[in-house]
Amino acid sequence: MDTWPERLKRFRNATRLSQAKVARALGIAPASVAQWEIGRSKPSLERLSALAALYNVSLEELCGNDLGSPKEALRHSNCDGNPSLRLPVSGFVAGADRVVIFENGDIQEDGEVHLPFPIYDGIVLRVTGESMVPRYRPGEVIGIRLPGRPCLGLKFIGRDIVAKLSDGQVVLKTVAAGPEPGSFVLTSVNPMVPPIYNPEIEWAAPIDFHMLG
């Protein structure tokens, strides 16, 4: 059975978030996340609910027997003074990795989503299809920041992105190294969806987080 620092790191790695991204989502310094993961300090109780939501796990899974009280964390998360954020849902992720981003402010279809942190300068998309289970489940929300980057780079390898292709499609894919130096492949969680070799893109936005919202 892993210790709480190991558990925190494992959950963070499972969501493919860096320590810096976790810190930004929680409104704290990256050094704080690093200290948690080496066992020099622990998250405060009021952070536990936000961490559980960010890592898409229950409070019980996050806390285990040594991190803190799930009931106490939940009480803190429901306090009026606890920082939180509400954002409109700006689009959806459907089957076969297809992404639709609403235009002209047409966001009434899916309403708002509650995020367990005070600030986020991106947009959220709702997952509706089941083709990307277990990585992305129906009902989850995904955070990205637009306009994204105009080209792929080595920093994207191994990361999930939302990308607009030159043919107008918007897709959610994982970036892998291509067969030639400097080339890239966009792969799918769904093995039935073929990879895209040497994609031509208009922009690519790394996924900052995904969670139930």
- pLDDT tens across 81-131, in order? 555 678 888 999 987 789 999 875 554 556 788 777 667 788 999 998 777
Average pLDDT over residues 194-200: 94
pLDDT tier at 69, thresholds 50, 70, 90? low
Q: Which helix (H) or strand (E) holds 147?
A: none
Structural domains of the chain, ranges and CATH numbers in brackets:
4-77 (1.10.260.40), 85-143 (no CATH), 154-211 (2.30.30)
Alpha carbons 140 and 61: distance in angstroms, whole number: 18
Beta bridge partners of 174: 160, 187
Beta bridge partners of 42: none
Among 30-44, 108-122, 149-163, name the most confident range. Answer: 149-163
Calculate the CA 94 to chain-centre distance.
16
Alpha carbons 4 and 169: distance in angstroms, whole number: 42
